Structure formats: C-alpha cells, structure tokens
Homo-oligomer: A and B are copies of this chain.
Amino acid sequence: MVAKQHKFLLEESELPTRWYNIVPDLPSAPPPPLHPGTLQPVGPDDLAPLFPMELIAQEVTGDSYVDIPDEVLDVYRLWRPSPLYRAHRLEEALGTPARIYYKYEGVSPAGSHKPNTAVPQAYYNARSGVRTLTTETGAGQWGTALAFACAQYGLECKVWQVGASYDGKPYRRSVMETFGASVVRSPSELTETGRKMLAEDPEHPGSLGIAISEAVEVAAQDDATHYALGSVLNHVLLHQTVIGEEALLQLAKAGDVPDLIVGCTGGGSNFAGLAFPFLREKLAGRMDPLIRAVEPASCPSLTRGAYAYDYGDTAGFTPLLKMHTLGHDFVPDPIHAGGLRYHGMSPLISHVYELGLMEAMAVAQTECFDAAVTFARSEGIVPAPEPTHALAACIREALACKASGEEKVILTALCGHGHFDMAAYDAYLGGRLVDEAVSDERFADPLTRLPQVGG
C-alpha cells in the first residue's frame, strides 16, 4: 500500500507576513459606503468613534499588501499556519476521480476562522489606547474569537449575546467567560436600546440587530471603548486572506492547481479569505479556477437579493453599504447555520460578483447535513453547520466528476468545527431537520424596502 498524504503543513516560518488587499487588482473600485444622513461617502472621522485609525486606514487602503505586525504574528503562531487536507477518505467514500482539498480553520482557539481578524482588531485597538471592546454574537463564534483576542492584549471584552442564543447555548457563554469576557444577555438593561426592548417584552428573545445596536451604543459613549465587527467590512476580509495565502503554498506543495474553489458565505469573510489570493492569481493569468460562493437557501443574498445601498444592521445605525441584500428588515428562517443568517453580503464580494469574477449558488440545510455526516464519517471532523454548505457543493461537484470521469481539483474552506453545534446534528439525526421556505414570496423584491439613495 502506497502511503497517501492527508495533511499539507507549513512551518511557522512560512506563515504569511502580509495581508492581501484585492481592491487595486480589480478592474474597478467598489462603490464607497455612504453616510446615512448626508448620503456622501463616509470619511475617517465618521468611523473614529467606533474603530482605531489603523483599521480605518486598512478599510480604505489602495495598497496591495499590508504588513502583519509581529505582535499579531506571535499570536497567529499559536495555531497558524493551519493545515490543508487532501480528503482521500471522502473521495473513496464517494468513488470520485476528483481530488478534494480542504483548508481547516477549526484548529484556532475559537474553533473557526474568526480569530484571524479578532486578533489584529484587538491589537490595533490596544495600541491606540482603547481599554474595552464591545461586540455582539449570535451563534457565538465571533464572541469567542474576540474574547480570546482581547485576553492576548489585556483588553476588557463585553459581548452582547442574542437572548435566544444566550438561553439556549449556555456553553458558548462558558467558553467566552473562560477566555475572560463578560457576556450579557441581549436585550439588556445596560443600554437605551435594550431597555426599550425589555419594556415591550421583559423576556424578549433578542436579535442580532438589537445586539449590534447595544454594543455600538456602549462603544460610542466612551473614548476608551470601541466596537469590533467580525465580517462584512474590507479590513475584516483583508485579515482573513492569510487563509488563501497559506492554501496557495500548500496546494503547490501537493502538486495541484485548483479547478474549483468553493466557500460558504454569510457576511463573506471566510469565503474572501480563501478565494481572494487565488483570484489574484487568476487575474494575473497564473491559474484559472472557477470561484463559487455557497449560501443557505434561507438567506440567498447573492442569488436572490438586489444589488443596492442598504443598512448593515436592522436598526439602520450603520453607514449605507452598496451590496447584495434581501433588505435590512429581512428575517431569515432559524436554520442551524446561524453564522450565515445575514441579510446582506460584504460590499467587496458583492462588487467582485457584479464584475463576473465569481459565481454563486444556494443549498438547503438537509443536503448540507447529509454532506456533513458523510464527511465526518470519512474524514473524522464534525463540521460547523456553516461550512457544510460548501461541503454539499463539493460533493455535488465530486459526484458530477464521477459521472463524467473528470479529475477536477476542488478546494474548499472548512471554516470551523461543530463541537458547539451538536444540537443541529441531534435534530438532523433525529429526523427533525426541515428545509427552509424558498418560495418567491419569501424573497419578494427587496428594492421596495430599501433606503432611497440617488444616483
């Protein structure tokens, strides 16, 4: 028997030392965010109450690369470079001639890709004199990542956890507290927004929109307190490009060139982190992979949303972002992939999609969990519900290759493990998981519900 290599590892000395910014390599720049009052492009001063200047500069930089600070690299090295796996045993289970690779981010302290941006965000905030970071968390991945990151630089971390999640996922709270964060049920008595909601309903289950509003409200009141966001924004996508830069090196070590790159999209940061460095290579003519985003059927912002200016949050506090959106008041079905339940899509990914540089598809959740169980039994990793969307798309493609005999090279992002999401597997294995509602009425023209922006 010839030994099959499963893992393609990098030494710590091969960890990327720069983040990659795709904007200057695109044929045109993405439309700017607009101030919701003036409808003019937002400037650094508009963002300064929430973010440190170094992150604001990264948000708008025209440079192709941004150096990663040594103090960030030192923390990245706790788990990075992350492994690239060849899914030999999955391929055998499917009987496909396709070669499937997955880049696994579940080795991080939070069990997902989120610390890739939480760590630099905490670092730049600490360096600018901030003492406390606030944020919201729904599924819990982002709150866990920021809790860990704040512990590295001596920052206090306050997390507003959506009430229903706080009540139903007490162990996610325990992880955040283990990393030193204080976790508050949202809506809370600590903010005007929260008090208003609690006055309406003392047992209000909360929502991500409300939790964002609470975290932003507290951050805006105090110069030593800032806010941190885990997806959507340019600087977040920038930080995640370490994923793709490593995968480029690892796939070269494996001696393969990708025909297809597949990632799941919610806000888009995991997808962009893997895909953008490969898109750079594609734009430069050095390879020609198809790049495919996979979104949940319940929340298909790319495949069924409008491309228009909309708010990033439900309450309408944020700048207006030009993006694919189902409308900021859209409430997705309560699927188990909580990290993908976002009404919009990162403006940068939306722009890349409009440029025709990538494609998108939507998958319903039972197909995702079918894929997850097949994957777990062959590869030994129980995936988070979010990347099961990408796995389902990989398996579709691998079975198409089985039918056609094509030996395609497929690369996907396994952005996290599902150890804190076993309730979803329990529902699936117990036959209680149902697919989302995907009627046309469900996604009726969001343009009628969008803010009016001229031009």
Contact = CB atoms under 8 A, between A and B. Distances in A.
A71 B4 CA distance: 11
A376 B429 contact: no
Interface stretch (A44-52, A219-227, A395-403, A418-426): A418-426
A284 interface: no
A215 B420 CA distance: 29
A151 B77 contact: no
A382 B71 CA distance: 22
Contact of A177 (B77, B171, B179, B429): B429
Interface magnitude class on chain A? 35 or more
A430 to B, nearest CB: 9
B419 A380 contact: no
A422 B74 contact: no
B174 A422 contact: yes
A425 B3 contact: no
A111 interface: yes
Given A111-B419, A420-B419, A429-B178, A9 B6 contact: no
A3 B178 contact: no
Contacts of A13: 3
Given A78-B379, A178-B425, A5 B1 contact: no
Contacts of A11: 9
A79 interface: yes
Nearest to A380: B109
Interface of A: 1, 3-7, 9, 11-13, 70-71, 73-74, 77-79, 89, 107-109, 111, 115, 148, 151-152, 170-171, 173-175, 177-180, 372-373, 376-382, 417, 419-420, 422-423, 425-426, 429
